[in-house]
């Protein structure tokens, strides 16, 4: 697929330029800073031309729980939100992706359904160490584990001893360990509130759970030298621990999510369990410290942790934060929500792109996230001034439930190109599946 575009604001090496961008056979072959287009160029005017978003934390849930989400709906939402590559978590599908057999079932379920490219994470659970190296050879990008109950019994949490067996295997295989970093303790019993009061959930998952878990993972990273990535960090109390670990030169990174940067506990309506996730959305003072850590580079990037379920599991009928499934549906809204909040704070689109494209691509070993010769032609064109009110019923996710319902956001993705294929044109999906699995192609 050959194409050349011209725009007044093309992001090249961290700066916006008037430039031509051309690609052929799925790769960029032309990046030219010029004052005017050439004959035949597609004109994008003042739209921002950016690398496609890379979202390394998505729960697609297929096979087995397709009523929660699925490849068709998730990848459609991704494309419309400017995501050109997503990485699927090893749960909450059934089977969970913790063996070679389960990996093959996952790959079979993807056949003919993808609108964007999809990498796969495997899972570390007690007793599956022998599966890890073969799964790397089969193409998984790395492995996720839980230090607390995952929410489903078929993906049990690991203990320190399990990690000491698994982490050297991952280190030697050249892939990272992704960690849901919460260590439960008696602190959860320290305070009580009615179940439909969001305070009940905050008391049940205090920040010390995260802080203690991150400290333990720093110790294990130091001992094994296995690359460690902390997923969906919400507690600002762990920031100094991460800062010190990075200063020490340990191979450790961390992400946060749009809901921790854009939402705050003070705004959670009573009984509105669409806001529930684990770790919790915390108060505004905590949110400000996350933004500071992101600015400083202590937090490496932002991904959605899109984790939907069937609406009944959210327990909106009772409003019980303690009984509801924890997960935020936001895949299509990641770029709009983060850019809206970031721009209020004075951050430019170059930083937003770094946090949502190049940073996640680096974790994936993907090498993308930038507009440069030789890179994949994963490109988006964004109208940064387009305002809209979120209506969950118009999103491509399988279910409309989202805490962003009714919120005013700014910026819309007008065009998405995946490996040079035009998959979103003027905000509408283009018919035809062109996405594919990414199986260790850059490692």
Domain presence at residue 67: yes
Domain presence at residue 337: yes
Domain presence at residue 334: yes
What is the pLDDT tens value at each position of the chain, 443 positions in all? 799 999 999 999 999 999 999 999 999 999 999 999 999 999 999 999 999 999 999 999 999 999 999 999 999 999 999 999 999 999 999 999 999 999 999 999 999 999 999 999 999 999 999 999 999 999 999 999 999 999 999 999 999 999 999 999 999 999 999 999 999 987 655 457 899 999 999 999 999 999 999 999 999 999 999 999 999 999 999 999 999 999 999 999 999 999 999 999 999 999 999 999 999 999 999 999 999 999 999 999 999 999 999 999 999 999 999 999 999 999 999 999 999 999 999 999 999 999 999 999 999 987 789 999 999 999 999 999 999 999 999 999 999 999 999 999 999 999 999 999 999 999 999 999 999 999 985 43
What Å distances lie between residue 118 and 66, 84, 229, 274, 285, CA to CA? 16, 9, 19, 26, 35
Domain presence at residue 91: yes
pLDDT in tens, 167-224: 999 999 999 999 999 999 876 554 578 999 999 999 999 999 999 999 999 999 999 9
* pLDDT of 185: 86
Q: For Cα atoms 418, 416, 355, give the angle at the middle one, nearest 5 degrees.
A: 90
Across 314-326, b (16+ Cβ under 10 Å) vs e yields bbeeebbbbebbb
* pLDDT of 188: 54
* pLDDT of 187: 61
* pLDDT of 367: 74
Q: How many domains does the chain have?
A: 1
Omega of the bond leading into 279 within 30 degrees of 0 (cis): yes
Q: Check: CB of residue 6 under 8 Å from CB of residue 41.
A: yes
* pLDDT of 82: 98
- The CA-based dihedral angle spanning residues 108, 425, 359, 388, taken in that order and rounded to the nearest 10 degrees: -110
User: Which H helix or E strand runs over 338?
Assistant: helix 334-344
Residue 350 belongs to domain spanning: 52-369+388-407
Count of Cβ atoms closer than 10 Å to residue 345 Cβ? 11
Domain presence at residue 8: no
DSSP string covering 396-431: SSSS---TTTT-EEEEEEEEEEETTEEEEETTEEPS
For residue 138, give the CATH number of its domain: 3.20.20.140
Domain presence at residue 11: no
* pLDDT of 441: 59
* pLDDT of 443: 39
Domain presence at residue 3: no
User: Which H helix or E strand runs over 110?
Assistant: helix 100-110
Pairwise CA distance, residues 310 & 322, whole Å: 17
* pLDDT of 366: 78
Count of Cβ atoms closer than 10 Å to residue 404 Cβ? 25
Domain presence at residue 240: yes
* pLDDT of 174: 97
Nearest Cα neighbor of 419 from 19, 140, 28 is 28
* pLDDT of 1: 75
């Amino acid at each position: 697929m050959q194409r050349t575009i011209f725009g007044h604001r093309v992001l090249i090496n961290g700066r916006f330029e008037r430039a031509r961008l051309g690609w052929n056979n799925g790769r960029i072959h032309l990046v030219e800073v010029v004052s005017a287009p050439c004959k035949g160029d597609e004109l994008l005017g003042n739209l921002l031309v950016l690398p496609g978003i890379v979202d390394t934390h998505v729960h697609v849930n297929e096979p087995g729980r397709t009523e929660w989400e699925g490849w068709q709906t998730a990848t459609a939402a991704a494309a419309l939100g400017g995501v050109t590559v997503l990485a699927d978590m090893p749960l909450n599908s059934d089977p969970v992706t913790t063996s070679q057999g389960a990996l093959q079932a996952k790959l079979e379920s993807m056949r003919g359904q993808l609108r964007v490219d999809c990498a796969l994470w495997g899972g570390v659970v007690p007793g599956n160490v022998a599966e890890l190296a073969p799964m790397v050879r089969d193409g998984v990008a790395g492995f996720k584990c839980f230090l607390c109950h995952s929410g489903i019994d078929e993906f049990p949490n690991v203990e320190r001893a399990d990690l000491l067996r698994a982490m050297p295997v991952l280190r030697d295989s050249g892939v990272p360990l992704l960690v849901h970093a919460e260590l439960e303790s008696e602190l959860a019993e320290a305070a009580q509130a009615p179940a439909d009061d969001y305070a009940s959930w905050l008391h049940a998952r205090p920040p010390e759970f995260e802080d203690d878990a991150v400290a333990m993972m720093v110790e294990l990273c130091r001992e094994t030298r296995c690359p460690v990535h902390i997923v969906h960090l919400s507690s600002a109390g762990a920031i100094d621990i991460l800062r010190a670990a990075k200063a020490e030169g340990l191979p450790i990174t961390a992400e946060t999510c749009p809901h921790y940067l854009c939402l705050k506990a003070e705004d959670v309506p009573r009984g509105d369990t669409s806001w529930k996730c684990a770790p919790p959305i915390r108060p505004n003072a905590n949110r400000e410290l996350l933004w500071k850590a992101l600015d400083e580079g202590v937090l490496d990037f932002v991904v959605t942790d899109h984790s939907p379920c069937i609406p009944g599991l959210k327990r909106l009928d009772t409003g019980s934060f303690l009984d509801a499934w924890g997960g935020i549906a936001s895949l299509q809204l990641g770029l709009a929500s983060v850019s809206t909040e970031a721009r209020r704070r004075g951050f430019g689109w170059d930083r937003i792109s770094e946090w949502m494209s190049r940073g996640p691509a680096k974790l994936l070993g993907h090498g993308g996230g930038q507009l440069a010769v030789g890179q994949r032609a994963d490109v988006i064109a964004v109208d940064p001034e387009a305002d809209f009110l979120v209506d969950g019923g118009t999103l491509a996710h399988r279910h409309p439930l989202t805490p962003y319902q009714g919120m005013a956001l700014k910026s819309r993705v007008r065009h998405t190109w995946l490996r040079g294929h035009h998959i979103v044109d003027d905000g509408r999906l283009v018919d035809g599946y062109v996405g594919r699995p990414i199986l260790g192609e850059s490692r």
